[in-house]
Amino acid sequence: MAQRGYINFAWGQLHYRSINIDTDLPMLIMLHQSPLSSRNYEKLLPYLSKKLRVVAIDTPGFGSSDRLSVDWEVNDYAKMVFDCADHFNVSTFNLFGRATGSVFALEASLMNSDRIKNLIIHGIPVYSPEERKQRLVDFAPPFKITNDGNHLEWIWSRIHDEYPWIDAELATNNLKDFLNSGPDFAASYRSIWRYDMPIRVNEYGKLPNRTLLIAGEKDRIGFMHERAVKLFPDASTIFLKNATDFIAEQNPDIFANVILNFLTNEKK
């Protein structure tokens, strides 16, 4: 069962899940997709903890982490990753990010690659300028809490619109995470829509860290995988048949093997 803890920062408390936080195994910090939480990795942690000291964090404003008083940019979320590592007195670590979290993980790699051993990106949203502009306009409007509870139906419908195949347990867990993030659940979304990833990456010419791109056949943003491969030609890639956005919950043993095989095999 996962251990849960909090780290105090100037902006508020950061919540995390781990199993073996007190070991001296190599650290892996995990970032989740928005507007969800580190709950996504509860079933995955036991498999990874055999070889890694895993810290799955709730992005500020999501899960059980405190909400932010102002909007952050991508570099703020990336800096938070290093603040977390500093708290555990870890100088270098592996870093994993899913969807929104993958953008924060990428920026952390570009920001301070010397502290990151390996980077794993699970479904990174590579938007065109037109897509980013449109999403800032109307993609994720805040929901309004109503006395009759219609906001619950709105969230439930949104979840099923995005994932028509989703089962009741996954949808309910997602609903809980939506409610935890509050009516304005899109703060982290807005940061990545303001972030010009191609320009940022092209400043460096190539990714500074050994990187794995993971794509799933049934992933909602799987269509962006080809864009990511083009943007990150030096990265290793793996395509998982039948894998959805929630493979960490649905097939944690398979997903753990993908992560551990990459991290324990230093050859590209």
Give tens-digit pLDDT for 182-207: 999 999 999 999 999 999 999 888 89
Cα distance between residue 101 and residue 107, in whole Å: 10
pLDDT of residue 87: 97
Cα distance between residue 244 and residue 224, in whole Å: 14
Q: pLDDT (tens digit, 9 = 90+) per residue, 89-116?
A: 999 999 999 999 999 999 999 999 999 9
Going by C-alpha positions, the residue among 57, 64, 62 that lies closest to residue 72 is: 62
Measured on CA atoms in the order 250, 232, 120, 33, is the torsion positive or negative? negative
pLDDT of residue 267: 56
DSSP per position, 110-147: HH-GGGEEEEEEES-----HHHHHHHHHHTSPPP---T
Domains of the chain: 3-128+196-264 (3.40.50.1820)
Q: Contact 99/33 with Cβ under 8 angstroms?
A: yes
Using CA atoms, how far residue 257 sits from 38, 120, 224, 243, in Å, is 19, 13, 23, 14
Preceding amide of 35 cis, omega within 30: yes
Q: What pTM was computed for the model?
A: 0.96
pLDDT of residue 268: 46
Low-confidence ranges of the chain (pLDDT < 70): 266-268
Q: Contact 20/28 with Cβ under 8 angstroms?
A: no
Tokens for 46, please give them: 């036991």
